[in-house]
Homo-oligomer: A and B are copies of this chain.
């Protein structure tokens, strides 16, 4: 094992010998003109919104929605992409993410989580771009979309995922799993879609996983892959954290909360068990819903003492 890495023969270390003081070193240090990748942030802004009611008595069917931007220039002109932008030298990654969020949604102070950093060499046809993706969850009640802004190129897309095929192969020292997942996005006018292949392999204790875009319709860059990754993360986190509360308004009914869990996890839940499970995470208020052709529903709010994530 040798002392490689930061300390030998690397771009930043051309002045990095030991016979000057650290202060001298930093004063004379010059970042040099080595080629560097560009760094961007990509935002996955999710919300849960209700679509039209079919019947005065029936509840509106909420759905998971994702914010996307139509590209006005090359490459992928006219396709839809995740909101995002370049990270400047004066801001941290999270600052850049929050800046994008404010720009696109006008919202500050919302749930933001770093997801994954995408670093494939050819992921952007222009030049080498490394993208750090962030997931933001917003409460739909706060959203003011396209207020007056005519023909804006930002829109919410209803997100759906479907498992097309799963192949599982178990051999002596491991297994491989191969899934094809179909992603569908629609905003009422346009329908975007992609088929992503997710491969996982375990060989002894060696594990690898990879994602590939097999087909894509209307979605720019590798963003369809990023979406599938984000949906997977969201689905897994909803099981063992209280992340879903970030999609709820100040007060909400337990049925609405349950719907959010069901939409994200893709599973139907039983009301009794669900209520028991989240009982300690909420506090009841004295308010109720009404005017709905059926029994009113009590409104709850978050319990600040709730489970730590």
Contact = CB atoms under 8 A, between A and B. Distances in A.
B75 A26 contact: yes
Nearest to A40: B6
Interface stretch (A199-207, A257-265, A272-280): A199-207
A4 B85 contact: yes
Interface string A20-63: 10100110010100111111100000000000000000000000
Given A29-B126, A83-B5, A139-B205, A22 B174 contact: no
A89 interface: yes
Contacts of A117: 93, 114, 117, 132
A30 B129 CA distance: 13
B90 A121 contact: yes
A74 interface: yes
Given A12-B38, A92-B120, A153-B3, A246 B205 contact: yes
A171 B1 CA distance: 52
A250 interface: yes
A266 to B, nearest CB: 16
A185 interface: no
Contacts of A73: 7-8, 13, 16-18
A291 interface: no
Contact of A177 (B96, B114, B118, B308): B308
Contacts of A77: 18, 22
Contacts of A91: 121
B170 A305 contact: yes
Contacts of A109: 203, 206
7 contacts: A3-B72, A4-B83, A12-B127, A18-B74, A22-B75, A92-B119, A139-B205
